[in-house]
């Protein structure tokens, strides 16, 4: 019997993890994407994008063999979280409250990409350096005019997925009219391996712990704020940005971590809520090509890794008389992802809406609610398990 072939379009984190997982599960798989280009970082310089990985993602990457390829000194375990409302709302979550040692791990995108790429090379996964252009009757057409055969095409080509549009997969996108601004900061006081998040009427500020530097303790900032405010900030020169961080974000954090100082160039991204039907005959989507959520819960990549784990499980468990690209096989994948994707969308979107409203009774209720949650061990255990990816929130 002919071995079926799978083509993964996209060489980001989702594409690389998919190809590696499928290869390790015994499938014939290759990647179609532009050449992997690592970002050159000076000593003590950290990749601008970092991820808070759940325990479920950490275990999956461990099984893929990629976790152990990352430098341990670049991985920061997070032992707890402090969440602040815009009034006096406050919730503290500690890993030990749910008998865990670590809540999440902060890893740099570049470090994870390097580990996944290295593992793909160890397993000799072919990488076609080209771009997906269209679907054909039995494979894909690349931008340079090659045809590549494939029984299943996996779209891991990000939020603007061309695979998704060529396969006519239904897709909805809702802009938040907010941008996410990311940068690394030096802080005055030690972060104590805690993650901090402040919810205000018009923004969410997250400070995630990173390794200490020669200039002092360091955090990664993810500041989701109104698009105009983010653009005004990005238009400032470096010293004005520095002042802005100290003044505005210093006041917002009530100097919880002492003085804040920018140590990297900030980047801004528009934030959207996106969902898709995830499959078509011979096509499945994973990662941002399939869905996108608000970064306030830091769950986008965790959700994408969950897709990949499920897709591999469905393909491994299918009866041998069914093809990898068959609609009823892919339908099992789509159904299995419905609930976790919906749950994450509801949590992130719900939190965004709850904190975006300025209506006085709701603003009061959310702060009272936070204080209440802080006093209820059962709910706290539930939230901690959610952060670990153990339940669908």
Ligand X SMILES: Cc1cc2nc3c(=O)[nH]c(=O)nc-3n(C[C@H](O)[C@H](O)[C@H](O)COP(=O)(O)OP(=O)(O)OC[C@H]3O[C@@H](n4cnc5c(N)ncnc54)[C@H](O)[C@@H]3O)c2cc1C
Taking the C-alpha atoms of residue 296 and residue 85, their distance in angstroms, rounded to an integer, is 13
Can you read off the two tokens belonging to residue 117?
A: 């790429």
Nearest approach, Cβ of 363 to ligand X (angstroms)? 25
Q: Are 183 and 267 in contact (CB under 8 A)?
A: yes
Nearest approach, Cβ of 254 to ligand X (angstroms)? 23
CA-nearest of 295, 302, 304, 287 to 267 is 295
Nearest approach, Cβ of 356 to ligand X (angstroms)? 17
**Where does this chain bind ligand X (CB under 6 A)?**
9-15, 32-34, 51-52, 131-132, 156-158, 162, 180, 182, 222, 269, 287-289, 295, 298-302, 304
Taking the C-alpha atoms of residue 194 and residue 207, their distance in angstroms, rounded to an integer, is 9
Nearest approach, Cβ of 113 to ligand X (angstroms)? 9
Q: How is residue 2 annotated by DSSP?
A: P
Q: Closer to ligand X at the Cβ: 106 or 314?
A: 106
Can you read off the two tokens belonging to residue 380?
A: 């706290």
Q: Closer to ligand X at the Cβ: 286 or 315?
A: 286
Nearest approach, Cβ of 299 to ligand X (angstroms)? 5
Q: Closer to ligand X at the Cβ: 227 or 365?
A: 227
Q: Closer to ligand X at the Cβ: 34 or 68?
A: 34
Nearest approach, Cβ of 154 to ligand X (angstroms)? 11
Taking the C-alpha atoms of residue 170 and residue 129, their distance in angstroms, rounded to an integer, is 28
Can you read off the two tokens belonging to residue 276?
A: 């898709």
One DSSP character per residue, 204-273 reads EEEEEEEEEETTEEEEEEEEEEEHHHHHHHHHS-HHHHHHHIIIIIHHHTTTTTS-EEE-S--EEEEEEE
Q: How far apart are the first and last CA of the chain?
A: 43
What pairing do the DSSP bridges indicate for beta strands 194-199 and 283-285? Answer: unpaired
Taking the C-alpha atoms of residue 222 and residue 296, their distance in angstroms, rounded to an integer, is 8
Helix axes 13-24, 300-317, angle to 10 degrees: 30
Q: Closer to ligand X at the Cβ: 13 or 363?
A: 13
Q: How is residue 352 annotated by DSSP?
A: H
Q: Closer to ligand X at the Cβ: 15 or 209?
A: 15
Q: Closer to ligand X at the Cβ: 33 or 315?
A: 33
Nearest approach, Cβ of 50 to ligand X (angstroms)? 6
Nearest approach, Cβ of 36 to ligand X (angstroms)? 8
Q: Closer to ligand X at the Cβ: 36 or 259?
A: 36
Taking the C-alpha atoms of residue 97 and residue 380, their distance in angstroms, rounded to an integer, is 8
What are the distances in angstroms from CA 328 to CA 5, 84, 156, 332?
Answer: 18, 46, 21, 7
Q: Closer to ligand X at the Cβ: 288 or 310?
A: 288
3-state secondary structure at position 161: coil
Nearest approach, Cβ of 125 to ligand X (angstroms)? 15
Q: Closer to ligand X at the Cβ: 116 or 363?
A: 116
Nearest approach, Cβ of 223 to ligand X (angstroms)? 9
Q: Are 61 and 352 in contact (CB under 8 A)?
A: no
């Amino acid at each position: 019997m002919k071995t079926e072939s799978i083509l993964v379009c996209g060489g980001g984190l989702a594409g690389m993890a998919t190809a590696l997982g499928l290869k390790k599960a015994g499938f014939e798989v290759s990647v179609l994407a532009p050449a992997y280009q690592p970002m050159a970082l000076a000593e003590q310089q950290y990749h601008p994008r970092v991820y808070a990985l759940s325990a479920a993602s950490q275990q999956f990457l461990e099984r893929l063999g990629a976790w152990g390829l990352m430098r341990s000194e670049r991985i920061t375990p997070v032992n707890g979280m402090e969440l602040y409302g815009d009034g006096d709302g406050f919730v503290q979550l500690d890993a030990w409250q749910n008998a865990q040692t670590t809540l999440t791990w902060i890893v740099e995108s570049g470090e994870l990409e390097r580990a996944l790429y290295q593992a793909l090379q160890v397993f000799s996964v072919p990488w076609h350096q080209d771009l997906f252009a269209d679907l054909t009757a039995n494979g894909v057409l690349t931008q340079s005019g090659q045809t590549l055969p494939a029984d299943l095409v996996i779209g891991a080509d990000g939020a603007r997925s061309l695979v998704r549009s060529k396969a006519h997969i239904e897709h909805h996108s809702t802009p938040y009219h907010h941008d996410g601004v990311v940068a690394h900061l030096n802080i005055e006081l030690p972060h104590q391996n805690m993650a901090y998040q402040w919810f205000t009427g018009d923004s969410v500020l997250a400070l995630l712990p990173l390794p200490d530097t020669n200039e002092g303790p360091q955090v990664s900032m993810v500041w989701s704020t109104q698009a105009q405010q983010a653009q005004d900030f990005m238009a400032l020169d470096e010293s004005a940005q520095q002042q802005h961080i100290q003044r505005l974000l210093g006041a917002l954090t009530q100097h919880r971590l002492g003085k804040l100082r920018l140590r990297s160039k900030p980047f801004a991204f528009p934030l959207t809520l996106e969902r898709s039907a995830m499959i078509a005959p011979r096509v499945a989507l994973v990662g941002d090509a399939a869905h996108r959520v608000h970064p306030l819960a830091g769950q986008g990549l965790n959700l994408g890794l969950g897709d990949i784990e499920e897709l591999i499980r469905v393909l491994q468990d299918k009866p041998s008389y069914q093809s990898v690209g068959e609609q009823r096989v892919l339908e099992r994948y789509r159904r299995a992802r419905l609930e976790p994707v919906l749950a994450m969308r509801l949590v992130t979107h719900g939190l965004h809406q709850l904190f975006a409203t300025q209506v006085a009774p709701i603003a009061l209720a959310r702060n009272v609610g936070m204080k209440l949650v802080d006093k209820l061990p059962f709910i706290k255990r539930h939230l901690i398990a959610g952060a670990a990816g153990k339940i669908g929130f």
